[in-house]
Structure 1
Amino acid sequence: MSVSGIESVAGFTPYAAPQVAGADALNGAARTSGPQGPEGPNKDFGDMVIDGIERLSATQQQSDALAVQAATGDLSNIHDYTIAATQAQVMTQVTVAVRNKALEAFTEMMRMPV
């Protein structure tokens, strides 16, 4: 998977699905802003990585909660689950691609003569 254009994903805000019982904090976590927050473009790389992983986790938890609702028959619109599951899948793929590129870059730096 190519990661060209990954910069456009930095400010990505996950799909805001309907409220899930007991998921008020989850929905708030899913709407956090990206690098264009109060810290601006000077945000530390480590903070950006942690923020991205937290958003991925929140999206996956929301997808799981909607899957349970769909399985129990409590979800009125099945497309909400379908969208959330697809979004979680795509975010996971992007995260893995970024991780692979970071490891590749680290490996290349370790090969450099000092």
Structure 2
Amino acid sequence: MTGVQPAAVLGQVEPAAAAGSASGVDFASVLGSVDQLQQMQSTSQQLAVQAVTGDLDDVHDYTVASAQSSLALELTATVRNKAVEAFTEIMRMQV
């Protein structure tokens, strides 16, 4: 495949270097995962334009990139929703 990077596993982030971190996840690595998602979406959009203009040799490249981008976006949204639910639950416990 040309121009398509393998999908990064958004759930695999490096443990925080700071010993005092309660979450065990480095915030910078989470932001890096969001950047990878944006790169996947950008690649998918570029391949879509190439497919429409006829510059793309293999339409399967676009199909794979689009599926990866869609799946990564769904995973990111699910993780975000779970984080919001956890935050809401913590705030409910404090009241």
TM-score category, normalised to shorter length = 0.7 to 0.9
Kindly indicate whether residue 3 of structure 2 is the aligned counterpart of residue 19 of structure 1: yes
What's the offset of the Cα at 1:79? Answer: 0.3
Q: Distance in 2 between matches of 1:72 and 1:113?
A: 57
> 1:106 is aligned with what amino acid?
F
Kindly indicate whether residue 76 of structure 2 is the aligned counterpart of residue 89 of structure 1: no
Pick the aligned partner of 2:35 from 46, 51, 54: 54
> 1:42 is aligned with what amino acid?
A
Report % sequence identity: 44
Kindly indicate whether residue 5 of structure 2 is the aligned counterpart of residue 41 of structure 1: no
Q: Distance in 1 between matches of 2:64 and 2:75?
A: 16
Q: Distance in 2 between matches of 1:111 and 1:86?
A: 37
Aligned length: 84
Larger gyration radius, structure 1 or structure 2: 2
3-state SS of 1:112 partner: helix
Q: Distance in 2 between matches of 1:50 and 1:113?
A: 28
Q: Distance in 2 between matches of 1:58 and 1:91?
A: 11
Task: Give unmatched runs, 5+ long, in structure 2.
Answer: 18-24
TM-score normalised according to structure 1 size: 0.65
RMSD across aligned positions (CA): 2.3
**Moved runs in structure 1, 4+ residues, more than 2 A?**
40-45
Task: Give unmatched runs, 5+ long, in structure 1.
Answer: 1-16, 21-26
